Amino acid sequence: MVRQPLRVTRRSLADLLLAAGLAGLAGTVLYPLVRYLIPPKVKEVTAGSIVAAKVGDLPPNSGKILLFGGKPAILVHTSQGTYKAFTAVCTHLACTVQYRPDFGHIWCACHDGHFDLNGQVIGGPPPRPLAEFTVTVKGTEIVVTRPA
Amino acid sequence: MGIGAWLEDRLRWRAADAFLRHKTVPVTRHGYVYYFGGITLFLFLVQVVTGLLLLMYYRPTADAAHESVRFIMARVQFGWLVRSVHSWTANLMVFWAFAHMFGAFFVRAYRRPREMTWISGALLLFITLAFGFTGYLLPWNTLAYFATKVGTEIVGAVPLIGHPLLVLLRGGEDVTEATLSRFFGIHVAILPALTTMVLGLHLFLVQLHGMSRPDARGPARSMAFVPAFVLREAMVWLLITGVLVTLAVLLPWPVGEKADPLASAPAGIRPEWYFVFMFHTLKLIPSHVLGLEGEQLGVIAFMLAAAVVLAVPLLVRDDGAGRASRVAAAVGAFGALYMIGMTILGYLRP
Amino acid sequence: MPDRARWCVITAVAGLLWFFSTGLAAAAPAPQTVPEPPSDGCITCHRNLGGRLAAPALKIADDIHVRRGFTCTACHGGDAKAPGMEAMDPKRGFVGRPKPADLPAVCGKCHSSPEIMRRFNPRIPTDEVARFQTSVHGQKLSAGDQRVATCTSCHGVHPILAVTDSRSPVFPSSVPATCARCHADAAYMKPYGIPITQYAEYKTSVHGEALLGRGSKQAPACNDCHGNHGAVPPGVDSVANVCAQCHGSQRDLFTRSPHRAAFESMGLPQCTACHGNHQISRPSDEMVGTSPPAVCAQCHQADSKGGVAAKVIRTALEDLKQSTAAAGDLVARAENAGMDMSDAKLPLSDARTQLILARNLAHGLSLREVQSATSEGVGLSRKAADLGRAGLAEIEFRRRGLVAALVVIAVLSLGLYLKTRTTPGP
């Protein structure tokens, strides 16, 4: 069968572009889709609670800073063996507080603010207590929960 | 036996093939309106796919909803793309559903025997709006929370059954986690089920009756559905895809601040743009008209308008250029201008 | 009418009124709305006298002492049971209105007695009068100056309200205005030759703004620095201890700094040498440096050892401030572009913590301490900045992906377009 060369070129070009385009489209759709379905490595964080540590991670009379709801929080393992958690944002100038094993309570380095293990101010310039979170031990996980 | 014959024996697909080969689409001065329905359908399919993907990570509780959307946007690979495409498609879909309806209206595609096609289409438009209204709340952000509060309050103004309806919709007296659960259920189960049924009927009727031709005058030109129309429609769909991806990348849909039911409403609470014309109308009606509350009057008016839209094929029954058709065209034009005007006013004067 | 006759009439009328009122009170219980004073001859009579003589009886029911069961005679002596003028017979212990000089003794009858006071409030101190004697007010009073403040000048009288009562003139937020009644009065202060600007200065200070503006009861009023009963300006060497009631870490840093000995030898007051006293404004980094408004420049030449140290501290603070601000800016830009930057929040807030810490460490004048805090802060802010840059890079990646997708769409569209040309059209 004899055809005009131009016509043949145009039709085959169209087919070529279509095939390439469809393959490309399949790729551009499938690639993000498959990547989307792969579960992310980071565990999902809800506002209400966070797994702060595993039992045994934190020796008694020590503390740990973690990010909870976009702000630093502090988990304290008291020398009595109980767990306590508070916001770690000092009520004075918003520095991050820390646990001082030698004092046995929470301390802000910036201006020597002291908070007891109920979050109450026991010394220094902080005007208000630290807000407390609820801590529950579920199996091997220590879960910090924002009170409702 | 070849595969084709084997399948033919079981699926009778050659009948469908033959049907499609004979299907034609009219070529007229306003031929572009024939693409609107297809665009809306395409956007709906995008919503089904992206919606199913979002369901993998979304969690419908007051505690986790906002965080899970944030998680999708930040942590899930390409989650930002899926969610932004879903949000943008929702907006485009509402726009094209309206465009499809006005297009069909002005070419009088609702005439006999396509009355049921029109009615099912109008129902699909309302379902689309309900999709938009319920989906808006799901990220549980401040704006959506208060927009839902105001929106459901308007439902409360429906005469007689308003308050029970409001309680039913909110799952209580106030917008709470119960509302979120309900809206989620409505958005991902009830409305999709309804859409499947009504859309099935709508598409079936379109195939049954073929494409409507605006009027009998002039030469009846047409193009084959396969491949000419399908190729053109595919190009339009591709173009829309490009627009969607561009919007999603350059203007990712914001997550907003987490809703705080105890906070006072922020200034400038406004519903999604496709409800603004109703919202602004309700604002403009005086608080008391003819012994009725203004809001009630507005709600009654919009319910009547919805009923009129549904009943268009029953109200306008003359074939061709009769007086009823001219009145209908004028009313339709007024309706379109009213919606556009009120939307603009609503944005100019918040 | 001679005086004697007038007193007779007054006494008779008062006696009758007392008779009737007690009779009525017995017949019908008093309404519950206002706490009625105990039925006491003094109050009954004085209420009906009008003017100056009635004033003490009108609001006496609010008086903390009356509420605890005391009557007028507790301070004024006399016999409340006697129906007539004989109630105020000096023979019955009546002292009338105590002179200012006698007030400490009158109040001290109970307030200096631990035995009496613990029956009413076991925590209340009983050294007020002793402290008052050590105050400038008390010493001038002993020297015969009747114009100085005594107990009732500050606590009010008829009624004397509890300090915890917000209507009391010595309720924490009312103290500054109470002191200012005399201390801001130019005419009244003239004989003493002391400044009268303290109140106006205090009102604009951080402390005044906190106490009077924001109602923060933690903020100090006059008495928190000067003492209340023992009011004396703090001595040059005790200023730091006064401020340390709240600003303890600064005192500790200051006392181990070379400034302590230097200030002592120069007779400079401690904290207030740099921060001022009544008009203490919010400190800023501009206070450190070698040219005004830097306070270091008051004593140190720019090229001296102290001037160089000031410059080093200022540079360290500015470096950290700048790098924290730059990191915050990067993170905010990435956030505004739609990226989730919560990972950068912790290092960023830690960097800001280091800045606040370094500013405080400047009180100790140890360059090593300040620089170790600022360099740690700079490291943290770099970490945050890296995360911000990664966020912005991700946006760049998305845009490239968009271009790729649009190219694919364009190719496919072109293919479709060519296809429509090669297939039968309308």
Q: Is the reported ipTM for this assembly greater than 0.85?
A: no
Residue from A76, A61, A84, A66 nearest A134 by CA:
A84
Q: Which residues of C touch B228 (CB under 8 A)?
A: 420, 423-426
CATH class of A49-145: mainly beta
Residue B255 lies in a domain: yes
Count of domains in chain B?
Answer: 1
**Inter-chain touch C416–B238, beta carbons under 8 Å:** yes
**Inter-chain touch C360–A24, beta carbons under 8 Å:** no
Which of B45, B71, B180 to mutate against chain A (most A CBs within 10 Å)?
Answer: B71
Residue B325 lies in a domain: no
**Inter-chain touch A71–C349, beta carbons under 8 Å:** yes
B141 touches chain A (CB under 8 A): no
Residues in chain A predicted with pLDDT less than 50, given as ranges, are 1-3
SS3 B228: helix
Are A130 and A97 in contact, with CB atoms under 8 Å apart?
yes
Kindly give the pairing relationship between strand B288-289 and strand A62-68: unpaired
Q: Is the dihedral of CA A25, A27, A31, A34 positive or negative?
A: positive
Closest chain A residue to C218, measured at CA? A127
Residue B327 lies in a domain: no
Q: Which residues of B touch C416 (CB under 8 A)?
A: 231, 234-235, 238
Other CB atoms within 10 A of residue C423 CB: 14
Which one of C281, C297, C313 terminates a domain? C281
The domain in which residue C255 lies consists of 235-281
Return the top range by mean pLDDT from B135-144, C63-72, C414-423.
B135-144
**Inter-chain touch B231–C420, beta carbons under 8 Å:** yes
pLDDT the model gives residue B58: 94
Q: Where are the domains of chain A?
A: 1-38, 49-145
Residue B165 lies in a domain: yes
Pull the structure tokens for residue B163.
Answer: 């308050």
The domain in which residue B220 lies consists of 18-264
- pLDDT > 90? residue C355: yes
pLDDT the model gives residue A14: 83
Residue C355 lies in a domain: yes
Q: Which residues of C touch A7 (CB under 8 A)?
A: 422
CA distance C418 to chain B (A): 10
pLDDT the model gives residue C26: 42
pLDDT digits (tens, 9 = 90+) for A97-139: 999 999 999 999 888 889 999 999 988 888 889 999 999 888 8
Sheet with A98-100, strands from edge to edge, namely A98-100, A105-108, A113-115, A121-123
CA B327, chain centre distance (Å): 26
pLDDT the model gives residue C10: 55
**Inter-chain touch B80–C425, beta carbons under 8 Å:** no
Angle (nearest 5°) at CA C120 between C114 and C126: 30
pLDDT above 70 as % of chain C: 90
**Inter-chain touch C406–B242, beta carbons under 8 Å:** yes
pLDDT the model gives residue B255: 86
Which of C331, C342, C345, C409 to mutate against chain B (most B CBs within 10 Å)?
Answer: C409
C345 touches chain B (CB under 8 A): no
CA B137, chain centre distance (Å): 16
Which of A36, A46, A48 has its CB closest to that of B77? Answer: A36
As a whole number of Å, the end-to-end CA separation of chain A is: 81
Pull the structure tokens for residue B263.
Answer: 């906070």
Partners of chain B (3+ Cβ pairs below 8 A) = A, C
Pull the structure tokens for residue B217.
Answer: 């005058």
Which of A17, A46, A107 to mutate against chain C (most C CBs within 10 Å)?
Answer: A17
**Inter-chain touch A15–C412, beta carbons under 8 Å:** no
At A97, give phi and psi (nearest 5°).
-80, 170
B243 touches chain C (CB under 8 A): no
C421 touches chain B (CB under 8 A): no
Looking at residues C93-121, what average pLDDT do you find? 87
Q: What is the CATH number of the domain that holds B70?
A: 1.20.810.10
Are C412 and A22 in contact, with CB atoms under 8 Å apart?
yes
Average pLDDT value over all residues in chain C: 84
Looking at residues C188-213, what average pLDDT do you find? 90
A109 touches chain C (CB under 8 A): yes
Residue B305 lies in a domain: no
pLDDT band at C244 (very low <50, low <70, confident <90, very high): confident
User: Could you tell me how many CB contacts below 8 A there are between chain A and chain C?
Assistant: 94
Sequential pLDDT tens for chain B (350 residues): 688 888 888 888 888 888 888 888 888 777 888 899 999 999 999 999 999 999 999 999 988 898 899 889 888 899 999 999 999 999 999 999 999 999 999 888 888 889 999 999 999 999 999 999 999 999 999 889 998 998 898 888 888 888 999 999 999 988 999 999 999 999 999 999 999 999 999 999 998 888 887 765 656 778 888 888 899 999 999 999 999 999 999 988 888 888 877 777 777 777 889 999 998 888 888 877 777 778 888 889 999 999 999 999 888 876 666 777 788 889 999 999 999 999 999 888 76
**Inter-chain touch B73–C424, beta carbons under 8 Å:** no
Closest chain B residue to C395, measured at CA? B249
- pLDDT > 60? residue C332: yes
Kindly give the pairing relationship between strand A83-87 and strand A71-77: antiparallel
pLDDT the model gives residue C23: 42
Residue B329 lies in a domain: no
pLDDT the model gives residue C242: 86
Residues C274 and C309 in one domain: no
Residue C366 lies in a domain: yes
Which are the contacts of B161, defined by CB distance < 8 A and separation ≥ 6? none
Count of domains in chain C?
Answer: 2
Residue from C355, C353, C349 nearest C316 by CA:
C355
Are C271 and C254 in contact, with CB atoms under 8 Å apart?
yes
Q: Which residues of C touch B78 (CB under 8 A)?
A: none
Residue C19 lies in a domain: no
CA distance C120 to chain A (A): 28
User: Could you tell me how many CB contacts below 8 A there are between chain A and chain B?
Assistant: 43
Residues C317 and C265 in one domain: no
SS3 B10: helix
Residues C272 and C329 in one domain: no
Query: Residue type for A104, please?
Result: G
pLDDT the model gives residue C16: 46
CA–CA gap between residue A53 and residue A139 (Å, rounded) = 12
Q: Is B89 exposed, middle or buried (0-12, 13-18, 19+ CB in 10 A)?
A: buried
Residue C84 lies in a domain: no
Q: Is the dihedral of CA A37, A38, A41, A43 positive or negative?
A: positive
**Inter-chain touch B78–A45, beta carbons under 8 Å:** no
SS3 B113: coil
Residues C269 and C310 in one domain: no
Q: Is the dihedral of CA C272, C276, C280, C286 positive or negative?
A: negative
Which are the contacts of C331, defined by CB distance < 8 A and separation ≥ 6? C341, C344, C345, C348, C384, C385, C387, C388, C391
Residue C298 lies in a domain: no
CA distance C418 to chain A (A): 5
CA distance A41 to chain C (A): 14
Residue B238 lies in a domain: yes
CA distance B53 to chain A (A): 8
**Inter-chain touch B231–C412, beta carbons under 8 Å:** no
Q: Which residues of B touch C420 (CB under 8 A)?
A: 228, 231-232, 235
B228 touches chain C (CB under 8 A): yes
CA distance A19 to chain B (A): 14
B254 touches chain C (CB under 8 A): yes
pLDDT the model gives residue C268: 86
Q: Which carries the bigger pLDDT value, residue C215 or residue C386? A: C386
Q: Which residues of A touch C413 (CB under 8 A)?
A: 21
**Inter-chain touch C417–B74, beta carbons under 8 Å:** no
CA distance B304 to chain C (A): 42
Q: Residue written as tokens 């996980």?
A: A141
Chain A residues bordering chain B (beta-carbon distance below 8 Å): 32-33, 35-38, 40, 42, 44-48
Angle (nearest 5°) at CA B281 between B275 and B287: 130
DSSP secondary structure code for residue B258 in this structure: B
pLDDT band at C29 (very low <50, low <70, confident <90, very high): very low
Are B126 and B202 in contact, with CB atoms under 8 Å apart?
no
Residue C145 lies in a domain: no
Q: Is C422 exposed, middle or buried (0-12, 13-18, 19+ CB in 10 A)?
A: middle
CA distance C168 to chain A (A): 24
- pLDDT > 50? residue C413: yes
Which of A35, A45, A47 has its CB closest to that of B258? Answer: A47
pLDDT the model gives residue C318: 94
